[in-house]
Structure 1
Amino acid sequence: MNMNMRKSFWAFTAAALVAFACDSTKKESNENTEAVDSTAVSEVTEEESTAPNSLSAAEQEEGWKLLFDGTSTDGWRGYMSEEFPSDWKVEDGTLYMSASGRGEAGSENGGDILYDEKYGNFHLKVDWKISEGGNSGIFYLGQESDKYDYIWKTAPEMQVLDNEKHPDAMLGTDGNRKAGSLYDLYPAKPASAVNPVGEWNTAEVISYNGTVVHKLNGETVVEYHLWTPQWKEDVAKSKFPELNENWAEVAKEGYIGLQDHGDDVWFRNIKIKQL
């Protein structure tokens, strides 16, 4: 190979290497950009699917229904009332009850509220947050009757509680008044499934032909069976027969309710699917 050919060969080789390097850098840059774009799309999709008080496309297809849209009290009213209690507020996308310090008596213009539609077989989801030392509850299969001044005299209750500060956590039997429990009957286990005061918790109640499951933050914490001999025996040992002698005969369908127990409590993402 003469000198001129050798110079041309090395010049061509150098140019090819530079072109290859540039192409590789460009390809790597494009791949990184695509990865970032993909991540961004994924994050947006995830954010949209978990936005408070909304249903994802999958939930809509599965038949979920929002019971609270974050802006209005449509569908909600007071227990034994046609009106929505004025002490309950829609605040920052939540159903909020402010503390009255009156305990079970609740607020003067508050009281327990319910969604004005009865459900039998269902899967309910509710996010809740309680104040320090606070107490509240989520009712299901509830009934209205002139004989009873509170919905909890007719309905099972999933307890909402500050387990660290409220005395109810130390009362009852085996922790059956702690957060997530079927109040005064079956304790939530593990009790550690609850998040600390000030943090949101996701409660779920699944009711199907008498089998009832409580879930708290994704963990199953209670399972029981309505109307069975064991159920009637357990109810007989609780405080409920003193309040309603027929309490064990829980209805096959009833109202979803939220409790005013005189403490600050917030609810959001209330949704239900009929089974």
Structure 2
Amino acid sequence: MKNLLKSFLVLLAITTAVPCFAQKANNTLTEKEKKQGWTLLFNGKDFSGWRQCNGSGMPANWVIEDNAMKVFTGEGRQPGQGANGDILYQNKKYKNFELSVDWKTSKMGNSGIFYYVREVPGQPIYYAAPEVQVLDNVDASDNQLANHLAGSLYDMLPADPKTVKPAGEWNTIVIKVKDGKVTHTQNGKKVVQYTLWSKEWDELVANSKFKDFPGFTEGIAHEGYIGLQDHGYPIWFRNIKIRELK
């Protein structure tokens, strides 16, 4: 009995000596991240820095929910019908950067993350900007083509579907753009790589739905805004952070 009590006390001492590490709060940066040059594009409280693409204010179908941006089906619309609610971060255009975004989709959800956004009056956000797909790979109606699945360069290059967490769970996508060389890293695994303004890029465009989009055939911009899509489904975004690369 004495030995058993001694063992229990030793185990208790070891257990209480192990420090408890609090999970990092969402929409914040560690000191290490700050030193690495990361900045937040979303503060978790409001839409500071964001506005409607080709507009001046925030669309009505965006709210803050549980410290995340949420876009939902607009009033009078059906699921899958956007309400002209594409948004962009207006404070700066970016050229070489690393962008990290956490996203979560509802069942059947569909959306996109855009970079090098060039606003074209009367046109949607995807008219002149590459799209990184956000999707419920299991139940979305747009899950029939490999290059339409989550993490893909939409309608051009497919991402590995095994890297995607299901609807209702958070995913992290990191988009790195440096001198035209682009990678998508999904939940820690590199899933797509390509080079803008190259022969490869021209071939990708020619074999995609964008082949007749002047925004692509004239050549996408060499810098632009970061944007998020309203595709008519509930989607959440948080921990949106970026660091510029030299």
TM-score normalized with structure 1 length? 0.81
Amino acid paired to 2:36: E
Shift of 1:247: 4.1
Distance 1:203 1:244, change over 3 A: same
Structure with bigger gyration radius:
1
Higher strand proportion (structure 1 or 2): 2
- 1:186-233 Cα deviation digits (max 9, x unpaired): 000x21100011100001100000000001101101000001111101
Which residue in the other structure is 2:147 paired with?
Answer: 176
**Structure 2: 5+ residue runs without aligned partners?**
none
Written as runs of structure 1 = structure 2, the 5 A alignment for 1:127-206 is: 127-146=102-121, 148-171=122-145, 175-188=146-159, 190-206=160-176
Amino acid paired to 1:137: G
Amino acid paired to 1:64: W
Shift of 1:36: 2.4
Does 1:119 find its partner at 2:90?
no
Aligned residues: CA RMSD: 2.2
Shift of 1:243: 2.7
Distance 1:131 1:247, change over 3 A: farther
Which residue in the other structure is 1:259 paired with?
Answer: 229
- Which deviates further from its counterpart, 136-145 or 240-249? 240-249
Percentage identity across paired residues of the two chains: 44
Residue of 5, 22, 47 corresponding to 1:73: 47
CA contact (8 A) 2:205 2:216 kept: no
Amino acid paired to 2:105: I
Amino acid paired to 1:231: W
CA contact (8 A) 2:127 2:215 kept: no
Which residue in the other structure is 1:97 paired with?
Answer: 71
Which whole-Å CA distance do the structure 2 matches of 1:214 and 1:163 have between them?
A: 17
CA contact (8 A) 1:227 1:248 kept: no
Distance 1:91 1:247, change over 3 A: farther
Dislocated runs of 4+, deviation >6 Å: none
**Structure 1: 5+ residue runs without aligned partners?**
1-20
